[in-house]
Structure 1
C-alpha cells in the first residue's frame, strides 16, 4: 500500500521539449549568421592586418662596400708565399661614401697587418676569426666605430 507520507518522485533536470527547440533555433540562427559573415567577407576583412604606411626610402638596410682584391707576400725573407685576400665592409646606408673615400688607407692597414702575421697563424683555420676581428677593429679605429659594422672575408687563400 502506498504511504501517504511518501513524496512524489522528483522530475529529472533537463532541457525538455521547449529547451531543445530553443537550442535548435539558436544554433540555426548562429550558423546562418556565421555563414553569411564568412561568405560576404566580413570575417576576412576583420582578420587581415591593416598596413601602416611607412616610407620605403627610409627603410633601407646596410650596404656592402667591396674592397679591391689584395695580393700580399707573407712568410718573411726569401719566402715566395702569397696571400690572396678579398673582403666586403658592411656599412650603414648613409656612411658608404665616407668609408669608400678611406679605401686606400684601409687596404694599407690590412696589408701591413697581414704581412706581420706569421704563416703558421695564417694557415690555421681557427685563427681566421681572430684575424677578422683584428682587421675589423683596425677599420673601426680609422673610420669610426659607427661607420663599419662588420667585415666579410670572401677570399683568404695562401699560395
Structure 2
C-alpha cells in the first residue's frame, strides 16, 4: 500500500505583493525627499567640498642660475680623457640669494665628485641619473634644501 501521508506544499518565502508595494512606496518617498533636500539647498552643507587653498603660482616662473662651464680630467693619472660639463641650478624665489655667492664652492664639489668617477661609469647612459642625483644632493647640503630644488645638466660630453 502506498503512504497516504501527503505533506502540504511549502509556501514560497518572499515579500509577496504587499511587501513589494511597501518597498516601492518607500523608494519613491526617499527619492522624493532626497530630491527636495538637494533642490531646496538643505543638503548643501553635506555635499559641499572643503575649500583647499591652492598655492598661487608666481608669474615669474622658476629661476635658474647658470654655472660656469667645467672641463674635468677623468680616468686617473696619465689619462687624456676630459669631461665637459655645464649645468643650471633651479633656485627658489626666496632664500636663494646666497646661492650665486657659493658658485666657486659648488664647482669645486662638482669637480671633486666627477674626478672620482670611473670613465666606464661616466660613459654609461643609465648612470647619468645617479650622477645628477648625487650632485644635487651635494649642492643641497651646501646651500640648503630649500634654496636649490633641481639640477639641470646641459652638457655632459667626454672627449
Specify if TM > 0.5.
Answer: yes
Alignment pair present for 1:143 and 2:154: no
Q: Which residue matches 1:88?
A: 88
Q: Which residue matches 2:129?
A: 129
Per the TM alignment, residue 94 of structure 1 is displaced from its structure 2 partner at its CA by: 2.6
| 1:28-39 → structure 2 map (5 Å cutoff) | none
| Secondary structure of 2:152's aligned partner | strand
Q: CA RMSD for the aligned pairs?
A: 1.7
TM-score, normalised by the number of residues in structure 2: 0.62
TM-score, normalised by the number of residues in structure 1: 0.62
Q: Which residue matches 1:104?
A: 104
Per the TM alignment, residue 97 of structure 1 is displaced from its structure 2 partner at its CA by: 2.6
Instruction: Give, in whole Å, the separation in 2 of the partners of 1:156 and 1:97.
Output: 27
Instruction: Give, in whole Å, the separation in 2 of the partners of 1:112 and 1:98.
Output: 22
**Runs (5+) with no aligned partner, structure 2:** 1-55
| 1:1-159 → structure 2 map (5 Å cutoff) | 59-159=59-159
Q: Point out the structure with max Rg over C-alpha.
A: 1
**CA deviation profile, 1:11-64 (whole Å, cap 9, x unmatched):** xxxxxxxxxxxxxxxxxxxxxxxxxxxxxxxxxxxxxxxxxxxx99x6432200
Per the TM alignment, residue 96 of structure 1 is displaced from its structure 2 partner at its CA by: 4.1
Q: Which residue matches 1:28?
A: none
Give the number of the structure whose residues are more often helix, by fraction: 1
